[in-house]
Amino acid sequence: MPQGEQFFTPGATGPRKVVEQRSAVPMTFLFTQVPRWVAPVVLVVLLLAGFAVTNPLGGVAVLPVIAFIGWLAYLSWPSLRAGGKLLRVAMLTFLVLLAATRFGAF
């Protein structure tokens, strides 16, 4: 890591500390053992399936994308400024609404 940066949030307690510690292994695996192109390609394919399939199967395809984006947003939240936080909330809101439409909520 670049000097001065930390993987864990300094002084984190409770749920944040637990999530950060439990996320260390999957993040290490994802970013070191899996080719770099796999995660983005899989997420794009799932998102495109969510757009293309208008039944509940499309909603199911979007759920892993929501989970991954939400996980990364949670981990990066303390280091973000207001604009970054707003963009993450907007992205998650859009994805949840997309899944909800596929499940027939609207």
Contact status, residue 99 vs residue 59, Cβ threshold 8 Å: yes
Q: What is the pLDDT of residue 80?
A: 87
Report d(CA 59, CA 84) in Å as an integer: 26
What would the pLDDT profile of 15-73 be if each residue is shown by its tens digit?
887 888 788 888 788 778 889 899 899 999 999 999 999 999 999 999 999 999 999 89
Report d(CA 69, CA 74) in Å as an integer: 9
The pTM of this model reads: 0.81
Report d(CA 67, CA 92) in Å as an integer: 9
- Report which of residues 25 and 98 the model is more confident about: 98
